[in-house]
Amino acid sequence: MESDESNKELDKVRSRLVEKMSRQVIKQLLDDLLKDGVLNDEEKDSILQENSTSSDRARCLIDMVKKKGQEASRKLFTHLQERDPTLSTELELPSGLPV
């Protein structure tokens, strides 16, 4: 996937991600993106504390990652494929994206 495509792909699947991402997967993605330096502790805590539902947390996470650019979006996809391969397949996300 070209780096330019990552944010476009994220826009395309955003509503389905918001609808289908589980609370557990969101927390795992937050940890992964914190480890990668995409998010900092304050951003992670903000997503968890300021959003009471999984849908709101997913929406906030996606929007925050998208604002950080193509590389951040690509890392989100890569970690999502690792954490929830079934959802990644259902959304037809490209496989084998390098982190």
Does 99 have pLDDT greater than 60? no
d(CA 93, CA 99): 15
Interatomic CA distance for residues 65 and 13, integer angstroms: 14
Structure token pair of residue 77: 């996809």
| Max CA separation in the chain (angstroms) | 34
Q: What pLDDT shows up at residue 95?
A: 57
Question: How is the chain split into domains, by residue range?
Answer: 3-87
Give 48-94 as a 3 state SS string: HHHCCCHHHHHHHHHHHHHHCCHHHHHHHHHHHHHHCHHHHHHCCCC
Using one digit for the tens of pLDDT, what is the confidence trace for 15-50? 999 999 999 999 999 999 999 999 999 999 999 999
**pLDDT for position 94:** 64
pLDDT band at residue 97 under the 50/70/90 scheme: low
Q: For the whole model, what pTM was predicted? A: 0.88
Q: What top-level class would CATH report for the domain 3-87?
A: mainly alpha
